[in-house]
Amino acid sequence: MKTLLVYLAVSAFCVFFSTVYSHFGHGVRSASMSLLFLYPLLGGAFAYLLVWLFCPAPERIRHSRVHFNLYNAGIATLAVGSTLRGVFDIAGTSSPYTVLYFAAGWLFAGIGALGFIRSAITRSRAGASGER
Amino acid sequence: MHVFHKPFRWAILYTLILTLATAYVLLDTFVIPRAGTAAISTASAASADTDTTVETAAGAQSDADPDETAAVITDTSYTDGNIQITLETIYVYDTAVYIADIQVSDASYLKTALAQGLYGRNIKETTSDMAEENGAVLAINGDYYGFRNDGYVIRNGILYRDVSGDNEDLVIDGEGNFSIIDESGTTAQSLLDAGAWQVLSFGPALVTDGEIAVSADSEVSQSKSSNPRTAIGQIGPLHYLVIVSDGRTGESAGLSLLELAGLFYERGCTVAYNLDGGGSTTLWFNGQVINTPTDGRSYGERKVSDIVYFI
């Protein structure tokens, strides 16, 4: 629940940051900047809401700490990559490195999510076996 | 590996990595100068006595004969045997607009220059410094090619970049005639082979075939509202119009692209093209900056990659 609230706060900060930055963009808009908040909101808060609803046992999170760390790193990387792309869009330039942020971000988030799901399923089966 | 099970250690380590990586990307994009080399290839007039052959356009310009006629210079005009320039300042659309009408005797009087004489990213100088170094009579900022990694770059007959940005480009041939091309439909090499002497990649085209080519909705992605603007057009053979507007100040709101296009259209331009604007916009004439360069936060000339000038 704490992680969910942190992600909500980060989403709100992203909305504030992109609004202020775009205000000084002399009319230039960037979807990467305007929609920046979606990464922490959907990838962070919403994802953790699902975990909280369907996998409430805290020990499952503890046992999947590496996966959660990877997932959080992925969402952070995607958000920073989107911010950079927005800054470059508004400035009228680009960088070949921004694509690396999205590649690394999706990779980390994907590995983290899959790892957590696999871990949760394994523990669920182990728990079910133990109940018999 | 156990260390990464600790949430805060991982968060701190990864935040540090992300911060350093982002700092490098920002510095690389905005600060670190990186000289490049021309995508060298030469033309019919190529010299054979060098290791690298610089390819120039087929219709390469020849230097015009120097004219000994003494120049007559006033605050709003310049006249010698080869160049006649008159500068007019008007106030329209709540904006100060500077209009230079330029007639030259030969296409070689219309030139471009690169900052520090080098091609590359983040290699910059002010328009006025480049103008003075090149002995310009009138100069404007160019397309700021060095702020982007794509968009064709041909300057003074040399091909520097053949990477399409799907932009509309201004092509100036060896005879000094303007035309507009779409990068998605051709290569810079083929433009050079066809005689392009200068190719500027920013846009959009404001006037083509004597008709306004933009609408109120079709705005360049780099600036979508009223802004300081720099643009150049052609009225007839060796007859050009440069229009620069102030903007982002209390006195001047700036122009939309449609308003800018209208000014060229009213003055009979057959082709007109929008160059880099905003904080880059600078008009230098007879040794001084004429407009009020500002990025909206502070006043003063921005350093840019290139200029278009008359000598």
pLDDT digits (tens, 9 = 90+) for B111-129: 999 999 999 999 999 999 9
Taking CB atoms and an 8 Å cut-off, how many pairs form between chains A and B?
69
CA nearest to B85, candidates B234, B200, B239: B239
Question: How much is the pTM?
Answer: 0.81
Indicate the residue of B18, B29, B225 with minimum beta-carbon distance to A80.
Answer: B18
Residues 6+ apart with CB under 8 A from A109: A43, A70, A71, A74, A75, A78
For residue B84, the one-letter residue type is Q
Q: How far is A128 from chain B (nearest CA, A)?
A: 26
The CB density around residue B115, as the number of other CB atoms within 10 Å, is 25
ipTM over 0.90: no
> Structure tokens of B122?
């983040």
- Say yes or no: A76 contacts chain B, CB-CB below 8 A: yes
Cβ contact, residue pair B25, A95, below 8 Å: yes
| Exposure class string for B28-42: b at 16+ Cβ within 10 A, else e | ebeeeeeeeebbebb
Measure Cα distances from B126 to A118, B222, B229 in Å.
59, 20, 16
Q: How far is A92 from chain B (nearest CA, A)?
A: 5
Whether the pLDDT of residue B49 is over 70: the answer is no
- Say yes or no: A65 contacts chain B, CB-CB below 8 A: yes
Interface of A with B in 14-43 (CB under 8 A): 24, 26-29
Q: How far is A115 from chain B (nearest CA, A)?
A: 14
C-beta of residue A112 within 8 angstroms of C-beta of residue A68:
yes
| Element (DSSP H or E) covering residue B242 | strand B239-245
Q: What is the pLDDT of residues B67-115, one digit of tens each?
A: 556 889 999 999 999 999 999 999 999 999 999 999 999 999 999 999 9
Indicate the residue of A26, A76, A88 with minimum beta-carbon distance to B18.
Answer: A76
B223/B248 Cα distance (integer angstroms): 12
Cβ contact, residue pair B14, A95, below 8 Å: no
Whether the pLDDT of residue A55 is over 80: the answer is no
- Say yes or no: B23 contacts chain A, CB-CB below 8 A: no
B193/B95 Cα distance (integer angstroms): 41
pLDDT of residue A75: 96
B164/B106 Cα distance (integer angstroms): 30
Q: How far is B1 from chain A (nearest CA, A)?
A: 9
B167/B190 Cα distance (integer angstroms): 16
Pairing of strands B138-141, B306-310: antiparallel
For residue B224, the one-letter residue type is K
Distance of CA A129 to the CA centre of its chain: 33
Cross-strand pairs, B283: B140
- Does residue B265 sit in helix, strand or coil? helix
CA nearest to B119, candidates B67, B73, B163, B65: B163
Chain B CA closest to residue A96: B149
Could you tell me the pLDDT band of residue A117, with boundaries at 50, 70 and 90?
A: confident
Cβ contact, residue pair A69, B11, below 8 Å: yes
pLDDT of residue B153: 97
Q: How far is A23 from chain B (nearest CA, A)?
A: 12
- Say yes or no: A122 contacts chain B, CB-CB below 8 A: no
Lowest-pLDDT range of A65-69, A108-112, B6-10, B262-266: B6-10
- Which stretches within chain A are classed as H helix? 2-23, 31-34, 38, 47-54, 58-63, 65-91, 98-131
Interface of B with A in 29-48 (CB under 8 A): 29-30
pLDDT mean over A25-31: 80
Chain A CA closest to residue B25: A97
Cβ contact, residue pair A28, B223, below 8 Å: yes
Helix axes A65-91, A2-23, angle to 10 degrees: 10
Q: Is the dihedral of CA B158, B288, B125, B230 positive or negative?
A: negative
* pLDDT > 70 fraction of chain A, expressed in percent and rounded: 89
C-beta of residue B57 within 8 angstroms of C-beta of residue B199:
no
pLDDT mean over B215-234: 76
Chain A CA closest to residue B16: A73
Whether the pLDDT of residue A132 is over 50: the answer is no
* Residue of A23, A68, A69 to mutate for B, most B C-beta atoms under 10 A: A69
Q: How far is B205 from chain A (nearest CA, A)?
A: 17
